[in-house]
Structure 1
Amino acid sequence: MPQADPRDTDDIALHGITVRYGRAKASVTAVEDVSLAARPGEFVVLVGPSGCGKTTLLRIAAGFVTASEGTATVRGEAPVPGRATGVVFQQSRLFPWRTAGGNIAFALARQGVPRELRAARTEELLARVGLAGTAGRRTWELSGGQQQRVAIARALAGEPQVLLMDEPFAALDALTRERLQEEVRTLAAASGTTVLFVTHSAEEAVLLGSRVLVMAAGPGRIVAELETGLERAAGTDVAALRGSAEFSRLRGELAAVMREAALGPAAG
């Protein structure tokens, strides 16, 4: 009897991914022969210098981009935008003509949630990201951090098994970024959602990721992998975790690997 492909058990499986832009001799290889997987409930972080292909890989998993070579599956099927995945971008990308609740209700409608259930579900999602009672507020009345929380709530509207996050906190101030990091970490731990997260920050990667993949550019490829092994259960004291010796050690180790990867092909 043939053995099952282990990728069939992964929530995200990218195998032999190569992405080229342009044609023939003028083409540029952005990503070359990259394979990665995320098991159910795993929080995988991609780090690396600008232009190494982190966002390209996330967009392939979302179904927004098709690879030149290789295969991609999400929960065993070819990626389709909005099916089984929620996506959060660096900018919130909320509809400015809708309220906070209206943005989420729109996503619920797209998922086929009956109209009479949307208001309660919207309030539940807003409360989940710490924004209870803000459904009627306009997007311009919300701070940048609050807008990003609404974007996360909207991504969760379809109860996705997989959440894809592309540097969602990069444009926020340090305090808001830390607060949202803790909230996303707790949310993922409590829900068991599988997360693929893109960042430039070694500290953010170590805090959030159960596993961190380091990429290098020219062309984009994975050059290192780090298992963090930090406590991930819901209710973990994240502030104490940030101050721990193990966190500092892992952050330093990852930062060193990222510096080496940023040197280019010679470092790989």
Structure 2
Amino acid sequence: MELSGVSVRYGTAKAPVTAVSDVSLAVQPGEFVVLVGPSGCGKTTLLRLVAGFERPATGTVEVRRKVGVVFQQPRLFPWRTVGGNLSFALARHGVVRAERAARIQELLSLVGLPGMAGRRTWELSGGQQQRVAIARALATEPQILLMDEPFAALDALTRERLQEEVRTLATVTGTTVLFVTHSAEEAVLLGSRVLVMAAGPGRVIDEVAVPLPRAETTDVAALRGAPRFAALRAELAAATRDAAAA
């Protein structure tokens, strides 16, 4: 995906508000890129541009692969079972009814919820619901996964488990990920590259490479123990504070 000179404006012609100003970035296949910065800096707006939910006022957005989206809230259909939510996504993707049951089991196993197809969504914990939302996004077999603070509302232990699962999932499937977070620590744990954004208007002011292990077997605890982790987290936290003050 590539954004070139992108700006987004809201409001009226007489009183326009620039949410994002002249942002250019490129994400290569298989990269895990994280957007971090203060509230209102345009992180979600950039995801919406890539997803096609927004159109830029200026600049171009080029997406060469199929996109799946995971929101901060799971946004599941409460009147459907877990399997029913996934079946709906598969049907929209053109998967015939006879093939959906097997595909649903594959997706649930992939996100660590085997055998849960018959459960009601309101019976699930917050972490389980978000796993279903990830499975739903993967149902369309996207090459690019957009994730908008998907773990922000979860408790610390659940968040850590899902961070590890998403890292593994991206590594195993080769999916390109564009991930939004407020957390410098989460950005370092997940990203191979982190873009720091500032507000007023939203723009990218810094880029931090994260040369930490990306192997399938590298868990979150091991990453936290890596020699460069603390230094990278401190560097990114400082950059985020600078962005808030910019």
TM-score bracket, normalised by the shorter chain, equals: over 0.9
RMSD: 0.9
Partner of 1:98: 80
| Alpha-carbon distance in structure 1 between the residues aligned to 2:219 and 2:160 | 13
Hey, what does 1:34 align to over in structure 2?
23
2:218 counterpart residue number: 236
Corresponding residue number in structure 2 for 1:74: 63
Contact 1:190 1:233 in 2 (8 A): no
Normalising by structure 1, what TM-score?
0.90
Shift of 1:195: 0.5
| Matching of residue 159 in structure 1 with residue 159 in structure 2 | no
SS at structure 2 position matched to 1:25: coil
Q: Which runs of 5+ in 1 are unaligned?
A: 1-11, 77-83
Could you give the per-residue CA deviations for residues 58-107 of structure 1, whole angstroms, max 9, x where no partner exists? 0000000111111001117xxxxxxx111000000000010111101110
Query: How many pairs were matched up?
Result: 246
1:235, distance to aligned residue in structure 2 (A): 1.5
Aligned partner of residue 14 in structure 2, secondary structure: helix
Q: Deviations over 1:15-73 (max 9, x none)?
A: 11101112223101111000111100000000000000000000000000111111001
- 1:244 offset after TM fit, Å? 2.2
Say whether the 8 Å CA contact 2:160–2:220 is kept in structure 1: no
Task: Report whether the alignment pairs 1:44 with 2:44.
Answer: no
Residue matched to 1:121: 103
Amino acid at match of 1:25: K
Identity of aligned residues (%): 75
Measured in 1, the distance between the counterparts of 2:13 and 2:86 equals: 44
The answer to whether the aligner puts 1:22 opposite 2:11 as a matched pair is yes
TM-score of the superposition, structure 2-length normalised?
0.98
Q: Is the 8 A contact 1:17 1:68 kept in 2?
A: yes
Shift of 1:245: 2.5
User: Does 2:137 correspond to 1:137?
Assistant: no
State the 4+ residue runs in structure 1 displaced beyond 2 angstroms.
none
Answering whether residue 237 of structure 2 is matched by residue 255 of structure 1, we say yes
- In structure 2, give the amino acid aligned to 1:18: S
1:3 corresponds to which residue? Answer: none
Structure 1 position 182 matched with structure 2 position 182: no
How many angstroms apart in 1 are the aligned matches of 2:109 and 2:154? 21
Rounded to whole Å, the distance in 1 between the matches of 2:243 and 2:155 is 27
Q: Which residue of 2 aligns with 1:196?
A: 178
